[in-house]
Amino acid sequence: MLQKIILATVVAFVLSLVSGPLFIPYLRKLKFGQKVREDGPKSHLKKSGTPTMGGIMFITATVISTLIFSHWNKYLSILLLGFLGYGLIGFADDFLKVYFKRPLGLKAREKLIGQFLLATIISYFAQKYVGTEVIFPFLKTTIDLGNLYIPFMVFVIVGTVNSVNLTDGLDGLAAGVSFIVMAFFTMTALFLNNITYGAFSAALTGGLLGFLRYNRHPAEVFMGDTGSLAIGGAIATAAVLTKLPLILPLLGIIYVAEALSVIIQVLSFRLFSKRVFKMSPLHHHFELSGWQEQNVVYAFWIVTLIAMFISFYSLS
């Protein structure tokens, strides 16, 4: 199994890496450039026009590698449903933005309906095939959620997907953080001796690492909502199927911090007409506080790495 995990990582890494010189120029030719928000950090204005929808690179690499090193079964079907399903929602959003020049892409209502519907389907099949118990970190015990299972998992999935999406705001930030998170699920699959979970997680880990070659600062391509929603779907579905949704607030502490910063900022401004942060999500606050973009990214990577080791300890 270990050999297959390593090979799945390497194959996805190579596929993602070699797709860059082929796919990025094609995105430029189609003029699929990212429009940078004018109210953001001024240093980001020069990024306007950078090709987006690059998530297709690691999505394709992940699927190919997974299918090579894993057998098709009901668990793989659910994993790919979460990964590709949310990736498709993100693709529709990106496509409307860059091709039809709709600044907001999908309407918020349309996007949320799709996300909740998909989360409900995933939760239903997860309940059917893995049960309603979840592992409680640190206490080394399980909790049976019973009838609360599907509503809780829907909340976890939709929350995770949107939190990852909010984290995708700096070169290499979401890809690097998610690389570490998926490495955790890869190693967890090794302990579970589950090649399906392992091959998928390893493939996405390798795909993200290859993508970072082009997404790190200064980025040659952005993943777009196509990539960030797909990653969020993969992480949430992997957590649900391994009975580890309660590990996500710790393992994905950066995702949580990014989402909370937006919620706090909006509530503070609406209730008190004051902003808590210089700008949200949180990574922009650090930028406007004088941090270099690369330093914010590296700091968030390190925090995630520490969170990953603590997550392992909580389950040992």
Q: Tell me: the pLDDT tens digits for 243-267?
A: 999 999 999 999 999 999 999 999 9
| pLDDT tens, position by position, 118-150 | 999 999 999 999 999 999 999 889 999 999 999
Of 172, 156, 298, 314, the residue nearest 232 (C-alpha): 156
Confidence of residue 97 (pLDDT cuts 50, 70, 90): confident
Question: What is the predicted pLDDT for the residue at 108?
Answer: 86
User: Burial of 101 by CB count in 10 Å (0-12 exposed, 13-18 middle, 19+ buried)?
Assistant: exposed
Angle at 28 between CA 25 and CA 34, to 5 degrees: 130
Q: What is the pTM of this model?
A: 0.95
Average of per-residue pLDDT values in the chain: 93
- Decide: 54 and 223 in contact? Cβ < 8 Å: yes
Contacts of 251 (CB under 8 A, 6+ apart): 181, 184, 304, 307, 308, 311
CA 298 remoteness from chain centre: 17
Check pLDDT > 60 for residue 178: yes
| Residues 147, 145: Cα–Cα separation, whole Å | 6
Question: What is the predicted pLDDT for the residue at 6?
Answer: 95
171 labeled part of a ligand binding site: no
| pLDDT tens, position by position, 258-315 | 999 999 999 999 988 899 999 999 999 999 999 999 999 999 999 999 999 999 999 9
Check pLDDT > 70 for residue 185: yes
Q: Any idea which residue has 């880990």 for tokens?
A: 205
| pLDDT tens, position by position, 50-84 | 899 999 999 999 999 999 999 899 999 999 999 99
Question: What is the predicted pLDDT for the residue at 226?
Answer: 97
165 labeled part of a ligand binding site: yes
Between these two residues, 40 and 181, which has the higher pLDDT value?
181
Least confident of 26-30, 36-40, 183-187, 245-249: 36-40
Question: What is the predicted pLDDT for the residue at 129?
Answer: 96
| pLDDT tens, position by position, 194-221 | 999 999 999 999 999 999 999 999 999 9
CA 81 remoteness from chain centre: 14
Question: What is the predicted pLDDT for the residue at 30?
Answer: 80
